[in-house]
A and B are shown apart, each in its own frame.
Chain A
Amino acid sequence: MKMFNPTAGWTLLLALALAFPFMAGNDYHLTVMSTAYIYAIATVGLNLITGYTGQFNLAHSGFMAVGAYTVGILTVDHGFPFWAALPLAGLVAAVLGVFVGLVSLRLKTHFFSIFTLCVGYIMFLLIEKWESLTHGTVGIVGIPAPEPFAGLDFSEPRALYYLVLGFLVASLWVMHRIVRSLLGRTFMAIRNSDDLAQALGIDLMRNKLLAFVLSVFFAGLAGGLYAGSVRFLGPGIAGVEHTFDMTMYMLVGGIGTLLGPLLGAIGVPWLTQYLQFLQEYRFVVFGPLLVLLVIFLPHGIVGTWLNRRRRQAAKAAPAPAPAPAPAPVQEVRHA
């Protein structure tokens, strides 16, 4: 398996992504791909707290909605330019994340999940009911496209595609740096056993909070991009179903890997495109698929492949430990 080195693989993926607009048949495909990239950014964020740190956050789509509404409200109601509103989208989500994290991260395992499920519902209901701020169920319409930048007109699907791709590449790079650093190792130590991590002198609360805030920053940013590219918003975007969607992307690809969530977030929407005839009923297929994956392929496509490669490497060279690849979720027994 020598021929498959990661750098070459990532370069190939990037080349494919750059060439995609020239291969895509029409603008519709470009739009599908851009939306998939936006959800990929959010999924990569969810993967940091869930896949790497082991805390299943069910309010993730709520934070994405916070980012989206930040951009929507600032540009439509207050005349902010998109480029000023976008960083604020990530920032507002992150600041909110500090407060939510401080309370919720004191809870462990599924108590954390239930708590964040409730937080997500509060966000959804507030967006739906607080009409003076969020326009309620009508939603925010007429969000302007990102202002032209370096001669690129972002109301045009191709330019928008490259813009979103740029953000996705940057997000993946940042995530790669985090995961490979000591900080990333710390997160994984917490995931594998927080008692053990604490015994090693890791400050659990500080690190979990950091992972949580970073993770929701990605969600907020993705939300901001969503507002600028789809250009209308409804409270539905905060619905917990979207967190479930992202969980599925993460799981199909391989939870706790860098490539997995990306593949899932791009592959699953395309699969749904080809299963158009199913439309609203796609979960009749995806629901059982999710169950089968968890039972038979819990590490996802990428995770299973990485494990196999690691086993082969171990067999080939018994002496030194193989290169530390980001480990997919190992046995984490509920305490």
Chain B
Amino acid sequence: MELFLQQVLNGLTLGGVYALVALGLTLVYGILHVPNFAHGAFYMAGAYSAFFLINRLGLNYWWGMLGAAVTVALISVLSERLVFHPLRKAPYLHHMIASIGILLFLEAGAQALWGADFHRMETPYTQLLTFGSLTLPAQRLLIIGAAFLLVVLLQLFLTKTITGATIVAMAQNREGAALVGIDANRVAMLTFAIAGALAGMAAVLYAPINLVYTSMGHLVITKAFVIIVLGGMGSVPGAIAGGLIIGFAEAFGAFYISTDYKDIIAFALLVLILSVRPQGLFARGAH
């Protein structure tokens, strides 16, 4: 039973991180209608900027996270302005290739600045909490708590504020949004900033129990793609549900099936589901 609860905890941890990354990706998809392959590099950039602030400048963990969120939001907005905005009328293939260009640039840039080594990010929350027979590492609880807080805040922002509503409106119908006087450029920049900040914070939450390295974003972003395809591209609740599904599938798969193949589970799930339902699990209508 304890082992089972331990896996539930692992699933929630992974699911929380995946949901944060997938949320940013799905919001940007709502605006661009194109998958942003550079999103995984944003995640990586977040981890590196926090690593720099914490280990080199000696700031504390939370300032590191804030710094990462701001830095990645800036990188994200810059790439919207410099790359995606000029391409807004181009075929979808061009967006994808341009986002690959950003990805390659950021990864090579991080490697040039910090080298190819793996780094460990310090966290002040190293203690183990015990509840009865259950031992919980504090960092994992922090990830779960912070991820769910961010998800709730984002949901409130999107549904309860005018600015949030403009993002939803743009995602639903671009021309319609422009007709009622929504400034498309402002909304696009705002969306990229939010997506970048979410990716940055997810990276800083997850990095202490993982490691910091240049290709750390690869698997996370690919899984985030799986999540938003499963949850329906552009759908916020879909991204959260999808994140949890993949998180749990991986935690239980690693425990009951095989640790070696745990990374394949998400992709196998996608292949399986799309073979039966080409339109995704929760999506209405065909792709």
Q: A107-B274, A125-B261, A281-B108 are in contact. Are A287 and B97 (CB under 8 A)?
A: no
Closest to A284 in B: B108
CB pair A122–B278 under 8 Å, yes or no, is no
Q: Which of A109-117, A223-231, A309-317 contacts B (4 or more CB under 8 A)?
A: A109-117
Tally of A-B Cβ pairs under 8 angstroms: 127
User: Residues of B contacting A244 with CB < 8 Å?
Assistant: 100, 104
Q: Which among A109, A111, A119 is the interface contact of B271 at CB below 8 angstroms?
A: A119
- A44 CB contacts on chain B under 8 angstroms: none
User: Do most interface residues of chain B lie in helix, strand or loop, or is the interface mixed?
Assistant: helix
A162 in the interface (beta carbon within 8 A): no
**Chain B nearest CB, measured from A51 CB (Å):** 9
CB-defined contacts of A286 to chain B, threshold 8 Å: 101, 104
CB distance from B268 to the nearest CB of A (A): 7
Given that A107-B274, A111-B229, A115-B271 are contacting pairs, would A288 and B105 also be in contact in the complex, using a CB cutoff of 8 Å?
yes
Q: Which of B97, B264, B270 contacts A247 (CB 8 A)?
A: B97
B219 to chain A, nearest CB (A): 8
- Residue numbers in A under 8 Å from B266 (CB-CB): 118
Question: A242-258: contact bitstring with B at CB < 8 Å (1 yes, 0 no)?
Answer: 00100100010000000
Question: Given the interface contacts A280-B111, A284-B105, A287-B103, does A125 sit within 8 Å of B98 by beta carbon?
Answer: no
| A110 near B34: Cβ-Cβ < 8 Å | yes
Write the nearest CB–CB distance from A304 to chain B, whole angstroms. 15
A69 CB, nearest partner CB in chain B, Å: 17
Which one of B93, B96, B222 lies within 8 Å of A118 (CB-CB)? B222
Given contacts A121-B222, A281-B112, A333-B91, contact A107 B34 (CB under 8 A): no
- Measured CB to CB, the nearest residue on chain A to B259 is A129
The interface residues of chain B lying within 8 Å CB-to-CB of A281 are 108, 111-112
Q: Which residues of A contact B284 (CB under 8 A)?
A: none
Instruction: Assess whether A287 is in contact with B101, with CB atoms less than 8 Å apart.
Output: yes
Query: Beta-carbon contacts of A261-303 to B below 8 Å, as 1s and 0s?
Result: 0000000000000000000111110111111001100100000
Interface membership of B56, Cβ < 8 A: no
Instruction: Please determine whether A111 and B90 come into contact, CB atoms closer than 8 angstroms.
Output: no
Size category of the binding interface on chain B: 35 or more
Inter-subunit contact A107/B96 (CB<8 Å): no
Chain A residues whose C-beta falls within 8 Å of the C-beta of B109 in the assembled complex: 284
Interface string of B83-115 (1 = CB under 8 A from A): 100110011111011101111111111011000
Task: Say whether chain A's binding surface is mostly helix, strand, loop, or mixed.
Answer: helix
Q: Judge if B116 is at the interface, Cβ distance under 8 Å.
A: yes
Q: How far, in whole Å, are A66 and B82 apart by their CA atoms in the complex?
A: 38
Give bound CA distance, A304 to B275, whole Å: 39
Report the separation of the CA atoms of residues A122 and B116 in the bound assembly, to the nearest whole angstrom.
25
CB distance from B265 to the nearest CB of A (A): 10
Q: Which residue of B lies closest to A54 (CB)?
A: B93
Chain A positions within 8 Å of B, measured between CB atoms, are: 50, 54, 56, 103, 106-111, 113-115, 117-119, 121-122, 125-126, 129, 240, 244, 247, 251, 280-284, 286-291, 294-295, 298, 329, 331-334
Can you list 24 A-B contacts with CB-CB less than 8 angstroms, sorted by A residue number?
A56-B96, A103-B274, A106-B278, A107-B274, A114-B226, A117-B222, A118-B270, A122-B271, A125-B263, A126-B264, A129-B264, A244-B104, A251-B97, A280-B116, A283-B107, A290-B98, A290-B104, A291-B82, A291-B83, A291-B102, A294-B90, A294-B94, A295-B87, A332-B91
